[in-house]
Amino acid sequence: MLFKANHQENALQFWRLLMNTTESASQCEEAFLSFESAYNVRKGIAWCEENGITYRMMKNYYDKWLINPSFNPDNIGRGVSQRAFSQEEEAKIYDNLLSNYTYQGIPISDKLIAEEFMNAYRLKHPYTTRNHYFQASKGFAWRSKIRNDITSRRSNKIPKNDLDQKDVELFMNAVEAVFETFLPERIVNVDEIPVHVEQQTQFTIARRGDPTPPVKKNCSPKLIITAVCGITANYDKLPITFIVKGKSAVCQRNLGVHHPNQTLATPKEKANADSCKDLISFVSKCIGNEPGCLIWDAYGSHWVEDVWETAEICDLQLIPIPKNGTPYYQPLDFGVFGPLQSSYNSNIKALPRRNMSQLVAKQNSSYHRMWKWYPPQK
C-alpha cells in the first residue's frame, strides 16, 4: 500500500491528489485507504484538526471521484473555478463558528463539535461561494456535546431532596398566618413570571379575583396556582395580588434585558438595596399605604438592614420565599405563586397543616423574629 510509512503524509498526499486529480486511480485509492486506516486508529485526527479537513469531507470527495473519475472539486458550482469552500472561507467559517459559541456562553474546548456543524452546513449549502457567517444554536451545541460524550444533559426536574422541608414548612405556615392577619387584597406577591402573555408596559398588576390567565414558561403553557396552603380557591380566579415585572412572556432576569421604561427593573440582572426599597414603596402604594404583606424571592440584597427598615416604615411584613438548594432554578414560588409544577405540589401537599393563630399572637417568638423583621445573620 502506498504512503504507509507516515500517516500524516498519507493524508496530505491524498488531499493533494484529490484536489489536482492528476494521479492514477490506483494511487488515489491506495492513499485514501491508507488515510482511512490512519483515521480509524485516531492517528490522523490531529493533522486534520490543524488543517481543517475532516474524514467526512474526504470521504464525500472520494465517493464523487469514484462515480466520476474526471471529478474535479474546482468545477463544482455554476461555473469553472468555483469550489464549494476555499481554504480562506473554511478558516472564516471555522473561526466565526467558534466565536459564536463563545458569544452564546457555551464553553467549547473540543473542535469536534465545530467540525460536525461545518459538515452539516456543507451538506445544506454545498455549492455556495459566499462568506458564511452563521449563528450556531445552543440546541445544536448541546446535542453535539451529548452525542460526542463531552457532557451529559442536565435534567429539568428538581430532585425533591433539594427542598429544605423545614424552610418549606415555615414558609407555608407563615403564609397561612398572613392570610389570618391581613385581607387578601393587602397580600402581594412580586414575581418575574408574567401573569399576562400579551406585551406588558413597565409592569403588570393582577388583582385578587381577576381571571387566571395562561402563562408561558419554558415554552409550555402553565396555569397560575390559585390555591394557597389550605385556603379554598378555584382555578379561575387569582387568590392574591400579583405584581409582575417584565415586558414579555419571559422573565427579564433570565434574558438580562432591562428596558428604559421599566420602573422596577434591577441593574445588571441583580437586585440591589435601592431597587428593593423602591419596590417596597411601590407595593405599599398599591395597597393604599395600609399595613400588608409582601411575598418575594429571598435573594442576598433583600437581607440588607436598609431594606428591612423601609419595610418597617411602610408597615409591610416581608415573607421571603426559601430557596430550594439549587442555583439553577427559581425558589419555591414556582410551586406556590408560579406555574403549576407537580414536583412542588407533592412536597407542599405532604406538609402537615397547623393552626398558626396562637403562633401569630406570640410577637417575640423565634418564628416571628425569623420571618418578620430580622434577617439571618451572615
Is residue 249's pLDDT more than 50?
no
Is residue 290's pLDDT more than 80?
yes
Q: Which of 178-182, 269-273, 304-308 has the highest mean pLDDT?
A: 178-182
Q: Which of 84-88, 220-224, 226-230 has the highest mean pLDDT?
A: 84-88
DSSP SS3 for 176? helix
Is residue 226's pLDDT more than 50?
no
Q: Bridge partners of 224?
A: 339
The residue among 378, 377, 371, 376 whose CA lies nearest residue 168 is: 371
Is residue 164's pLDDT more than 60?
no
- pLDDT value at residue 378: 39
- pLDDT value at residue 70: 58
DSSP SS3 for 321? strand
Amino acid symbol at 179:
F
Is residue 294's pLDDT more than 60?
yes
Q: Give CA–CA dist 240/206, Å, rounded.
A: 8
Pick the more confident residue, 91 or 336.
Answer: 91
| pLDDT band, very low/low/confident/very high, at 297 (cuts 50, 70, 90) | low
Query: What does the DSSP 8-state code read for residue 237?
Result: B
DSSP SS3 for 204? strand
Residue 361's contacts (CB-CB under 8 Å, 6 or more residues apart) are none
Pairing of the two strands 187-191 and 241-245: parallel
DSSP SS3 for 245? strand
* Three cell numbers, residue 362: 406570640
- pLDDT value at residue 64: 60
* Three cell numbers, residue 156: 429539568
Is residue 23's pLDDT more than 80?
no
Region 289-306: mean pLDDT is 71
* Three cell numbers, residue 234: 378555584
Region 291-307: mean pLDDT is 69
Pick the more confident residue, 316 or 166.
Answer: 316
DSSP SS3 for 317? strand
Question: How far from each other are the two terminal CA atoms of the chain, in whole angstroms?
Answer: 72
Region 353-378: mean pLDDT is 36
Q: What is the share, in percent, of the chain residues with pLDDT greater than 90?
A: 0
Q: What is the share, in percent, of the chain residues with pLDDT greater than 70?
A: 15
Least confident of 14-23, 122-131, 184-193: 122-131
Query: What does the DSSP 8-state code read for residue 375?
Result: P
| pLDDT, the chain, mean | 53
- pLDDT value at residue 204: 61
Number of H helices, E strands in the chain: 15, 7
DSSP SS3 for 89? helix
Residue 178 · residue 319 · CB < 8 Å: yes
Q: Give CA–CA dist 301/320, Å, rounded.
A: 12
Model pTM score: 0.40
Q: Give CA–CA dist 105/255, Å, rounded.
A: 13
